[in-house]
Structure 1
Amino acid sequence: MICADELGPVIPRTFPLAPAWSPDGHRIKAELDYSRGPEKTWVYGALRVRDGQQITMAASSRNSVLYQQFLQQVEDANPTGEIWIVTDNLSSHNSLSTRTWLEDHPRIHHAFVPVGACWLNLQEGRWRIFRKTALAGRSFANSDDIAYATTPATDQLNSRAKPWIWGRPAPPTRRRPRRYVYTV
């Protein structure tokens, strides 16, 4: 089972340099001003739940052709057995060209999550960790920088991957009960 989703659009933006200090020691206040580039980048992601490994692919748009390229990467990364992909019911996931492509690849099957239940897709939780690793606090000049940032972030997360379990782990149990001793 593989959970797949798209993150984006991730927009390259550059922030101005931070203001310096004034001669009398006060911080100069400046309005937040940043520019957004015309390019948008989408990051396709697939999480293999049994071992926590993730596949990512940066793309210039979100369409059927790029989704099929992403599915090919997922198939190449999973050479044996059937592949069930849990995803949302986006038009590119269910288009005629995608369904035709899936007929040529009988190992891949889709399972769509219901509308309004995106939390059932475990990739959504993985995006939060991925954003902190690859995108948080960074300024990207163009879409190539975003694509470059996804590769080491994915490698870093895959190096310490564990089976992905939905929900919180149970709290640890106490080994010995508490004993109270009262002295008179």
Structure 2
Amino acid sequence: MAGLADEPRPGRRKQELVLTEEERAQLTGWVRRAKTAQFLASRARIVLACAEGRSNKQVAAELGIAQGTVNRWRARFVAHRLDGLADEPRVGRPPSILLDQVEDVVTRTLESTPGRDTHWSRASMAARAGLSKSTIGRIWKRFDLKPHLQDSFKFSTDPQFVDKVVDVVGLYHNPPEKAVVLCVDEKAQIQALDRSQPVLPMMPGMPERRTHDYLRHGITSLFAAFNIADGTVIGELHRRHRAIEFKKFLVTIDKAVPVGLDVHLVCDNYATHNTPEIKAWLGKHPRFHVHFTPTGSSWINQVERWFGLLTDKLIRRGVHTSIQALEADIKAWIDTWNENPRPFMWTKTADEILKSLADYLTRITPQTQTTSKELKFRSSGASH
């Protein structure tokens, strides 16, 4: 009996998987195409790895997925070949849309435009693909495609991007003792706008209405310092936006922060923050420490989030007949905020931010077009 126990168990023999040249070409295309649906690319990788003779367990370890997932798609491919990589049909009426049609819709949406139009609509895609508009809508929903929407972005070209992210985020997560951390910036050229006709109030079934045109009554600039620990804000308004006004604001901060505490300022590289006059003032006040955010990365400065609240709740829909009225409202809004301040919770670590950006660059940049700067950025992000 002991001898029998020492013998290896025969195990279940894996199904043989051999690819034709056409199948290999198709699977390789799905893997390499940057805009292939993720589920299809993942299944193609499984089949290609299995075709190289590796066991299901080895493929699962290599791709970082469950072995049951490899078992399933190997068996599905052996039984149904390329068609087996589509989702299994559900109980009820058999599906009328083949995998190739779905892939065609997704590929067209991501990689082309309809004639002279800038983006696809359900109607134009339905006419091109020979499917109904509701079917196009379901495909787009399934793959989270929204051709009618667009967003903005900007990649930082700062050569010290990694170091600055680590520095600033490190302050957020581990602020120094006996010190305050203030996120500082200016919201410049806030306009005092008055509508050409009175605003019509909201009524049941009807939103508030206002004229599309307006009268300008001057501009002001708000200098603000957001305390990351308790959410309080030091604010100061100036009609002009120069280094001399920024220096006055630094004096205001110096008076507001108790003696004996260091002051760590998070701010951008705007010209008014780097003049010889400002550097000389900082040199005479050694308790001030400046931490610059990366170029083009205002999202890392918490005061920008606070500026967003101010804009949404006061400025965007405000009606002001003079610059004095606008400034009075801003001061009153800040006073109200400071009565019940709310700090923001910064959750992402520097490692997570850098990895997320590196992963995104990897997804959107073809391997053959990767620049040396991007490679340096990715390797730097991975090392932290």
1:123 matches 2:303: yes
- Give the match for residue 63 of structure 1: 242
1:161 matches 2:344: no
Equivalences for residues 4-19 of structure 1 within 5 A = 4-18=184-198
Q: Distance in 2 between matches of 1:163 and 1:14?
A: 32
Give the deviation of 1:50 after TM superposition. Answer: 0.6
Query: Of Structure 1 and Structure 2, which has the larger fraction of its residues in strand?
Result: 1
1:52 matches 2:52: no
Give the deviation of 1:163 after TM superposition. Answer: 3.1
AA matched with 2:233: Q
Counterpart pick for 1:42 among 218, 221, 236: 221
- Give the match for residue 176 of structure 1: none
Give the deviation of 1:84 after TM superposition. Answer: 0.7
SS in 2 for 1:40: strand
Structure 2 residue ranges without an equivalent (≥5)? 1-180, 201-209, 349-384
Q: Distance in 2 between matches of 1:119 and 1:67?
A: 21
Moved more, 144-153 or 116-125: 144-153
> Structure 1 16/122 Cα, relative in aligned 2: closer, same or farther at 3 Å?
same
Look at both structures and tell me which one has the larger radius of gyration over its CA atoms. 2
Give the deviation of 1:167 after TM superposition. Answer: 5.0
Q: Distance in 1 between matches of 2:309 and 2:199?
A: 31
- Give the match for residue 94 of structure 1: 274
SS in 2 for 1:5: strand
Counterpart pick for 2:252 among 41, 66, 73: 73
Give the deviation of 1:8 after TM superposition. Answer: 2.4
Query: Of Structure 1 and Structure 2, which has the larger fraction of its residues in helix?
Result: 2
Q: Distance in 2 between matches of 1:146 and 1:33?
A: 18
Verify the 8 A CA contact 2:268 2:295 in the aligned structure 1. yes
1:147 matches 2:327: yes
> Structure 1 49/148 Cα, relative in aligned 2: closer, same or farther at 3 Å?
same
> Structure 1 19/152 Cα, relative in aligned 2: closer, same or farther at 3 Å?
closer
Give the deviation of 1:134 after TM superposition. Answer: 3.3
Deviation by residue 1:46-81 (Cα, 9 ceiling, x = unmatched): 101011100111111111111011111111111131
Give the deviation of 1:132 after TM superposition. Answer: 3.0
AA matched with 2:185: D
> Structure 1 47/98 Cα, relative in aligned 2: closer, same or farther at 3 Å?
same
Taking structure 2 as the reference length, the TM-score comes to: 0.39
- Give the match for residue 180 of structure 1: none
AA matched with 1:52: G
SS in 1 for 2:273: coil
Count of aligned positions = 159
- Identity of counterpart residues, as a percentage? 23
SS in 1 for 2:221: strand
- Give the match for residue 171 of structure 2: none
Q: Distance in 1 between matches of 2:277 and 2:336?
A: 34
AA matched with 2:222: V
Verify the 8 A CA contact 1:56 1:150 in the aligned structure 2. no
- Alignment root-mean-square deviation, CA: 2.2
Taking structure 1 as the reference length, the TM-score comes to: 0.78
Q: Distance in 1 between matches of 2:326 and 2:211?
A: 26
Verify the 8 A CA contact 2:195 2:211 in the aligned structure 1. no
Q: Distance in 2 between matches of 1:127 and 1:8?
A: 11
SS in 1 for 2:252: helix
Counterpart pick for 2:317 among 137, 145, 148: 137
